[in-house]
Amino acid sequence: MAVTRFFLPTEIVAGAGSFAQLGKLVQPLGRRALVVGSPGRRGLLEMATANLAAAGVEAGLYAGVGHEPTLDVVETARAQAREMGAEVVIGIGGGSAMDAAKAAAGLYHQPGTVAEYHTGRKLDPRPGLPLVCVPTTAGTGAEVTKNAVLIDPARRIKESIRDDSWFARLAVLDPELTLSLPAAMTASTGADALCQAIESYVSIGAGPVSDPLAAEAVRLIGRSLERAVTRGDDLAARSDMLYGSLLAGMAMTNARLGAVHGLAHPLGARYHIAHGVLCGLLLPTVMDYNIDYATDRYARVAELLGLDVRGLGAKEAGQRGAAWVRELLARIGIPMQLGPLGVKEADFDGIIAESLQQSSLKHNPRPMQAEDVRAVLVQAL
C-alpha cells in the first residue's frame, strides 16, 4: 500500500446556531481580533464584532474583500491587523474572504510584501496569527485547507501560497448563514464543492483516510445541490451542502485535486470567470476524459450520486454519472461551454502552459500532457 499523509489541525464547530457562539469560541485565542469580509456582508460582519465584544474580544473590521482575493486586499488587511495589534484573524464569507484572512494571518510576522511570497519567496518558519474561518457559502472548503488562492491582477496570475501552519485553528459552520445566499451563487459555489469532492475522490493522491470524506461529500452534495438552489430556505439541504463542502475540503487538502482545477485557475485569472462556474463547466468533460483511467472510482461516484447503476459495467456506470452531473449542472444554470464566456482558441497555448504548472493537474488520474489539456479545452469550448 502507498504511504499517504493526512493532516488537519482545525477544530470544527458546526450546526445551526453555532455562529452565536463565535465570541465565546474565539476568546481563548486572543483578546484583539480583526474580522475580514466583503462589503456585501457588512451586516453579518457587524453582528460578529458585536458578538466578539460581548465576549470581551476587541474587534476591528476590514470589509474590503471583493469577488477575488487580490494581493492588495491581503496587504491592506495585514496592515490593519498589525496596526491594531491583532492576536487573531477571523475570515467570514466565501472563499475569497477566508483566503484573504488566511493570508493576512499567515503573513502577519513575515517581513516581505505579499507579492514576494506570491512569486515564490520562502516563508520564515515563524507561524502567523491564529485564524478562524466562518464560511457563508458551501463551496471552497477554505475553512479546512492550508492554502490561500490569491490573484495578482497585474500579472493575471492566480496562485496559492500554502503552508501547514496556515490551517485555521477554528472553523465555525452555521448553515443558517447560507440561507440567504442567492440561487446563482449557491449554484456556482456548490458546483465547486461537487467538483472538489469528485476530483479528490479520483485523485492519484487519494487514500484510505481521504476516501470516506470525499465519498460522503459526493453523496451529500449530489442529493442536495439542486434543492439548495431551488429552495434556498431549506435548512436540511443547506446543511448537507455545508457539510459536503467541508468534507470535500478536508479530502482535497490532503488528496489534492485534478484537471478541472488545473485549468480553472489559469482560465479564471485570464477571463475573470467565477471559479465555481469554471469548475462546473469543466467537470463532466473531464470526468468523461478520465474515465478509462479510474473506471471503478467513477462507477462508485455514480452510485454515491444516487444513480441506479445495477447491471451496468463499470465504464458505463461512470459515463452515466458524468452525464447526470452534466444535466444537473445545466439545470441549476451553470453554462456548459467556454466560448460564450469569452474564451478564445487563440489563447489556448498560454492557458495550456500555465495549467501544466498547476499541482492539481499533476494529481489527475489520467496523466495530462499539453495535447490532453488542449483536447479538454476544445471539447469544452
The site for Fe ion (CB under 5 A) is made up of: 192
Smallest distance from Fe ion to CB 253, Å:
11
- Judged by beta carbon, residue 48 or residue 260, the one nearer Fe ion is 260
Tell me the residue length of the chain.
Answer: 381
Smallest distance from Fe ion to CB 158, Å:
11
Contacts of 58 (CB under 8 A, 6+ apart): 31, 32, 33, 52, 84
- Judged by beta carbon, residue 60 or residue 266, the one nearer Fe ion is 266
Q: Amino acid identity of 149?
A: V
30, HSE (Cβ side, Cα atoms, 13 Å) = 23
Beta strand 88-93 with 32-36 is parallel
Smallest distance from Fe ion to CB 286, Å:
13
Q: In whole angstroms, give the CA distance from residue 177 to residue 191.
A: 19
- Judged by beta carbon, residue 163 or residue 192, the one nearer Fe ion is 192
Instruction: Please return the burial class of 152, using the count of CB atoms within 10 Å of its CB with bins 0-12, 13-18 and 19+.
Output: middle
- Judged by beta carbon, residue 76 or residue 364, the one nearer Fe ion is 364
**Strand residue runs (E) in the chain:** 11-14, 32-36, 58-62, 88-93, 131-135, 147-152, 157-162, 170-173
Smallest distance from Fe ion to CB 141, Å:
8
Task: Using CB positions, name the residue nearest to Fe ion.
Answer: 192
Angle at 242 between CA 241 and CA 243, to 5 degrees: 95
Smallest distance from Fe ion to CB 239, Å:
21
With both helix axes pointing from N to C terminus, report the angle between 259-271 and 275-290 in degrees, rounded to the nearest 10: 150
Smallest distance from Fe ion to CB 252, Å:
8
- Judged by beta carbon, residue 192 or residue 372, the one nearer Fe ion is 192
Q: In whole angstroms, give the CA distance from residue 104 to residue 82.
A: 10
- Judged by beta carbon, residue 68 or residue 192, the one nearer Fe ion is 192
